[in-house]
Structure 1
Amino acid sequence: GEGLCLIIENVENEVDPLLDPVMEKAIIKKGKNMYINVSDQNMDYNAKFSLYMTSRLPNPHFSPELSARCTVIDFTVTVKGLEQQLLGRLISMEQKHIEESLNALQEDVTANTKSLQLLGKQLLDRLSSSSGNLLEDTELIEVLANTKAKAKEVEGKLAESDERKKEINEKREQFRPVATRGSIMY
């Protein structure tokens, strides 16, 4: 009843029917209180409660009823995914500055893309709020010129980021054979 998280580990293809009311969220409301009936007993229920079930099955075949009541997330790592993770770890150990540069670059690209989207939105807002002849609205023309200049600057930064990303990826590829070998050994 405290709204905590419950983790049930090593679930097989079938789940104990005792959990059905919990998974169906068969909540009973009495006044301001909420209850859930488990094993013929009303237990306090908190809306913050969450249930997680884990399985070691590589490809579980849950019943349609169970699949409909929960979200199945496959955390299996593919060989390619493992290779990418190993490559990142390897570079972090051997040439940390390369991985740091890549992370910083990705942050810059995200910030510049958001900036470009914001500029477009601001321009559209200004255009939609403008009344009368657009060519005579000097403030709108200034905003348009500023937006164009900023957009060109941001696009230049994005192009520069693409070039830097290519250079970084070329350096990362030097370590690819080691990461590939590590993923195969796994």
Structure 2
Amino acid sequence: RQAVAWLQASIGKELKSSRPANSDWLEKVRLSLEQGTPLLLEDCSEKLPALLAPVLRREFRGSGRKLVLSLDGADVDVMCSKDVKTGMPKLRDGGVLPAELPFRLYLQTRLANPHYGPEIQAHAALLDFSVTEHGLAEALLHIV
């Protein structure tokens, strides 16, 4: 819960949340992509829903003046920064990744020592909030 409390304090009321066990989780992902709001998926297991793969892999593509991502077989218009002159999505280095994407996805687990496969680790930053006082003291003494 420490990570969730930190996220809520850092982001504030804009942070939306759901759980993969809830029936509405995919709809919340879609809405967050469209509205450019951060989303927290709580209580994730080591096996993430396959429907999250396009989001994690950032499989964005341009479609006219829109940036879209295919989610569960349907295209979702993704909120992103656009070029003032052309109205086209601003893309990083001429590629397909948006220059600015307000949507952020946070995945939280209650597992003590989760083991995510390389397909997840390659597309996500993993943070461990389970540092104990003893572990922190050992880490600091190891540095000195």
TM-score by length of 2: 0.54
Q: Give me the whole-angstrom Cα distance separating, in 2, the residues matched to 1:79 and 1:52.
A: 25
Match for residue 48 of structure 2 among 11, 15, 22 = 15
Instruction: Kindly tell me the number of residue pairs found equivalent between the two proteins.
Output: 83
Q: Would you identify which runs of 4 or more consecutive aligned residues in structure 1 move more than 6 Å?
A: none
Q: Give me the whole-angstrom Cα distance separating, in 2, the residues matched to 1:10 and 1:45.
A: 25
Shift in Å, 1:78: 1.4
Q: Give me the whole-angstrom Cα distance separating, in 1, the residues matched to 2:54 and 2:39.
A: 15
Q: What SS class does the counterpart of residue 69 from structure 1 fall into? A: coil
- 1:80 maps to 2:134: yes
Q: Give me the whole-angstrom Cα distance separating, in 2, the residues matched to 1:67 and 1:28.
A: 22
Q: Give me the whole-angstrom Cα distance separating, in 2, the residues matched to 1:61 and 1:2.
A: 31
Specify the alignment match of 2:116 in structure 1: 62
Shift in Å, 1:81: 6.9
Q: CA RMSD in A?
A: 1.6
One-letter amino acid of the counterpart of residue 41, structure 1: A
Specify the alignment match of 1:154 in structure 2: none
Shift in Å, 1:82: 7.8
Q: What SS class does the counterpart of residue 36 from structure 2 fall into? A: coil
TM-score by length of 1: 0.42
Shift in Å, 1:44: 1.1
Deviation string for 1:90-128 (max 9, x for gaps)? xxxxxxxxxxxxxxxxxxxxxxxxxxxxxxxxxxxxxxx
Identity %: 31
Match for residue 104 of structure 2 among 50, 54, 62 = 50
* Greater per-residue helix proportion: 1
Specify the alignment match of 2:36 in structure 1: 3
Q: Give me the whole-angstrom Cα distance separating, in 2, the residues matched to 1:42 and 1:69.
A: 21
Q: Give me the whole-angstrom Cα distance separating, in 2, the residues matched to 1:26 and 1:41.
A: 13
Shift in Å, 1:31: 2.2
Specify the alignment match of 2:61 in structure 1: 28
* Greater per-residue strand proportion: 2
In structure 1, the gaps of 5 or more residues are 84-186
Shift in Å, 1:80: 3.5
